[in-house]
Chains A and B, each alone.
Chain A
């Protein structure tokens, strides 16, 4: 092992147990890397080195006794959308100010229970609203990858852009993300890492700041599938505090990785071959098909006929919920308050100063689609589309076991290439949104580089609560792709 930064979560876990490395060494090295690199990347909003060092010492004590949970001593990062007790939680918004929750989200509590050590809170698009991580009130995140021919800052994708960038740059061994319409998968693809959006209801939403309640789902982001499987097993599970979490046992996900795809039927949805799909995306998709065929899978053309309505319906459903979910940020009980002469003036001043443009735009749109006289035309129709999208998937799963598609219609673009038309930005989610709307699980794995040296991802979409088949098929793609490229900015590369 040449560098401490060559560890994956899984190999670090083994090394810790074998006492080849101590938790203190591991955590110190990553804290040092954050200090060295994150001034530029800006993947962290809040760093918690002191707490992490203390936790590392405790972890070493446990490990020395052969004790400790499945994640004991492993340094990770937490998307700053998860409430963490005693640690500032911002949702990348000014409106939360210096909000320090007196409670812990269920997902992070689970990770803590299993011994994971948080190095801090990771940057994101404000309230998880965006696909670029440029809407954060704490500044944009830089993708650690660079194009071969340019030094331009690339976006890490979003909304879990800080998580993706930190994992890609080797600042943490894994991170939590949340995915509402692609917020785990798209940044994972942009940063050359792996991310899973589990089935809706698999991870508790308790303590996770809501964007769109019926779509939000937490998931792991890490350097490979095994790491994601390990994290997901800890994060997932029924929570009586979240009525939409599902009471099903959590499988041992790692065990599914080696199952192979022999005899598995893989669907290729024709509607995902959208107009203007770049040839490179088309090519990597074809490559994925070939890899799965070579491994013994049967590839079948399928139709998901309502795909084209997915994106508009998603933006209606998600923003409607968001407009309501964000009403609580009013300056009355917590977070920032800007004074006013009346209650309405207080609301207006607080929300005008506290929310960024994208969040305001989405609140306005969401309010509009729920308004009297428009509800039927927008919200209700979007709900109907949602049912149809779900039916598309259920019908497809009568004949196939898993669906293969690109994760995003392009690789990472530069900060200054971000379209000025918000709708163009929304198009980034075209391949990820249908699975979110249907509630089915999906993952993204890095499959290769585009002609300019930027990673591209492939997406697998599975049956409800069948994350295991996703992992099995993903593992085959992962092996075939053998994606070992590293970004320009990486902890293991000295400056």
Chain B
């Protein structure tokens, strides 16, 4: 694939992107308190005194959150730091009850790792992960409910987040999108983050700079805060890179600053300049001891990790003979892969692949359902395919049966029996039907015999129609040939 370049007045520019992804850890309770970490709920109902920063309250680290962070680090093929430490990041805001966020600044729990991405042309790239740390989320300020007052919802305050920081290895909006989707896929496979960007459980800060083609080193970057969809991240990079190129080319300078992406106007806007940047006054959190974990515990977690997307993909290709493209689609979500394997295991894998990627996905799309609430279970689909394999029905009838299954939720065999769709393999019945058709179309038979081979299809169609589609197609072919040459 040709490299992504922005063509300016004076030449070609390369885009340099690094992403900081905030991913909410899947856990029952918050990072340092027993309050529920569940999304939603009436405002301020998932709040403990610790989350609300009451005097004398102390944080107590949630062991499950640490396990989730370690699993994530393992999933990113990253260094797990047996010693890590929490720090306080100090700033004042109304939805930050204690006036500081507990984070890991100097000693994160996860060190360097990599994420493998695949681009649309099949090119594979490795994006470095610099580090990953745990931190607590802030609450939510609500400014649009009252003309003079703001409201604070602390349900989210204290929920555990992972901040995954990439190296500045990303070179195009497409790569950024692929990286985010891959990261999301890994986290969802691991069950460490639900990856739900609409609910804010994954958000990205995007660092963008540009440089002339062939230039060494980096120019000043800007950070675009809190972008909450893959599409917006890609758009933001595009417009921000273009903005920077325009400024450089007109002889200007880029100021290091924090910017916001406005997707309606498709532009980025300055949020605060370097001069207004917070001085977070990081220092070690004195209410918590350093976090020391055992290698044996890491090993235990590693042994219990689910199969990761790349591994699963390779295995599906090997075990079921699916193509590289098909394995990509089938492993995009773990639930799809599980569904696929339930259907394909011990069945005709090719038939299963074609049906799932074809008619079954089409049925899901048509009904607007996801694989999790599919109207047809994997077991039911397997039964349908078995009916094809053992010639109980033919493929065409099977499509009709699937539609019926989606609608009624009935089993394939029940529908086949109810509608009398069982394939006719009785030679006598088929022969009788063919003879009727040949008799009624004597002119066409003559044309056929005089060399108009194409008419064979016409006879097949007429026979199937007469048999209401239930005739075994192979037998129809065979008998037609025999009777037409008789």
Contact = CB atoms under 8 A, between A and B. Distances in A.
Interface string B47-61: 001001111111111
Nearest to A366: B281
B55 A83 contact: yes
Nearest to A89: B55
Nearest to B49: A103
B98 interface: yes
B56 A207 contact: yes
B58 A330 contact: no
A32 interface: no
B52 A333 contact: yes
A96 B54 CA distance: 11
Contacts of B286: 212-214, 244, 321
B289 A244 contact: yes
Nearest to B55: A209
B288 A208 contact: no
Interface stretch (A266-274, A369-377, A415-423, A471-479): A369-377
A91 interface: yes
A367 interface: yes
Contact of B60 (A208, A210, A243, A323): A243
A327 B60 contact: no
Interface string B149-188: 0101000000000000000000000000000000000000
A347 B59 CA distance: 24
A187 to B, nearest CB: 21
B360 interface: no
Contacts of B289: 243-244
Secondary structure of the A side of the interface? loop
A327 B100 contact: yes
A383 to B, nearest CB: 8
Contact of B56 (A105, A321, A370): A105
B97 A328 contact: yes
A29 B202 CA distance: 63
B94 interface: yes
Give the interface SS of chain B, mostly helix, strand, loop or mixed: loop
B279 interface: yes
Contact of B92 (A83, A213, A330, A371): A330
B287 A213 contact: yes
Contacts of B279: 371-372
B107 interface: no
A328 B98 contact: yes
Contacts of A343: 93-94, 150
A101 B55 contact: yes
Interface string B105-116: 000000000000
B212 interface: no
B11 interface: no
Contact of A103 (B54, B150, B283): B54
Interface in B180-216: none
B56 A209 contact: yes
A243 B58 contact: yes
B55 A370 contact: no
A469 to B, nearest CB: 26
A202 B355 CA distance: 67
B306 interface: no
A212 B88 CA distance: 14
B58 A332 contact: no
A382 to B, nearest CB: 10
Contacts of B409: none
Interface in B37-82: 49, 52-61
Interface of B: 49, 52-61, 88, 90, 92-94, 97-100, 150, 152, 279, 281-283, 286-289
Given A101-B54, A206-B58, A207-B56, 16 more contacts: A89-B55, A210-B55, A213-B286, A244-B286, A244-B289, A323-B281, A327-B90, A328-B53, A328-B54, A328-B55, A330-B92, A367-B281, A370-B281, A370-B282, A370-B283, A372-B281
24 contacts: A105-B56, A205-B56, A206-B56, A206-B57, A210-B287, A213-B286, A214-B286, A240-B60, A244-B287, A324-B90, A324-B99, A327-B92, A327-B99, A328-B97, A328-B98, A328-B99, A332-B97, A333-B52, A333-B54, A334-B54, A334-B55, A343-B93, A371-B281, A372-B281
